[in-house]
Chains A and B, each alone.
Chain A
Amino acid sequence: EPEVTQTPSHQVTQMGQEVILRCVPISNHLYFYWYRQILGQKVEFLVSFYNNEISEKSEIFDDQFSVERPDGSNFTLKIRSTKLEDSAMYFCASSLTGNQPQHFGDGTRLSIL
């Protein structure tokens, strides 16, 4: 069964450094998403991406965040200057259309030191 894959599974980074989280969505899906889950808290929406542009973003998704689909398969989340509070599990998801189920990857655990 097709699945969303994320790399790396765990990323440890010094505060202030840039980090790029990578995702390969399900191949025929058209909508892509990033969510995050701070330890012990809810899963929170960050951004959605469709037709090579951001379609929606949350207030969490400020100027330090960016997303890109550099080729036909990868979808990346970049955090420009990481802060301690960026430590979380980051999930990528994809869906065939905007009102079809979102399928999630296993996540990248980001630890900021």
Chain B
Amino acid sequence: SQELEQSPQSLIVQEGKNLTINCTSSKTLYGLYWYKQKYGEGLIFLMMLQKGGEEKSHEKITAKLDEKKQQSSLHITASQPSHAGIYLCGADMGNTDKLIFGTGTRLQVFP
């Protein structure tokens, strides 16, 4: 079974629409990191969440870590073509240096 699952795998939305991407862990999360990746490029850090119930926003992107600390959601308000890319969640599952990554959500935004 997957340690970290993202849904949906793929999302196509019209510009201006809101959308939500989910990241669900099979284990307790000690830290949850959201990244954006453009095809063939590196991962761009978006936000870090560490406390249950924590919510952070940057421009039109909001991320939240649920109270039981096993799920996070990323919400984009009024999507734009510049939001297109692959969104990855990366989890710190405690007592480790590594991040476990989800499978990614490919977002396309059309005019």
Residues in A lying within 8 Å of B, measured CB to CB: 4, 6, 31, 33, 35, 42-45, 48, 50, 55-56, 58, 89, 91, 93, 98-107, 109
B5 to chain A, nearest CB (A): 11
- Chain B residues near A31 (CB-CB < 8 A): 97
Report the stretch among B11-19, B33-41, B62-70, B76-84 that lies at the interface: B33-41
State A91–B8 Cα separation when bound (angstroms).
25
B45 near A102 with CB under 8 A, answer yes
Interface of A is mostly: strand
Q: Does B111 contact A (CB under 8 A)?
A: no
State A104–B44 Cα separation when bound (angstroms).
7
- Chain A residues near B52 (CB-CB < 8 A): none
A101 near B48 with CB under 8 A, answer yes
One of A45, A89, A106, A107 near B99 (C-beta < 8 A): A45
State A98–B94 Cα separation when bound (angstroms).
11
A83 to chain B, nearest CB (A): 23
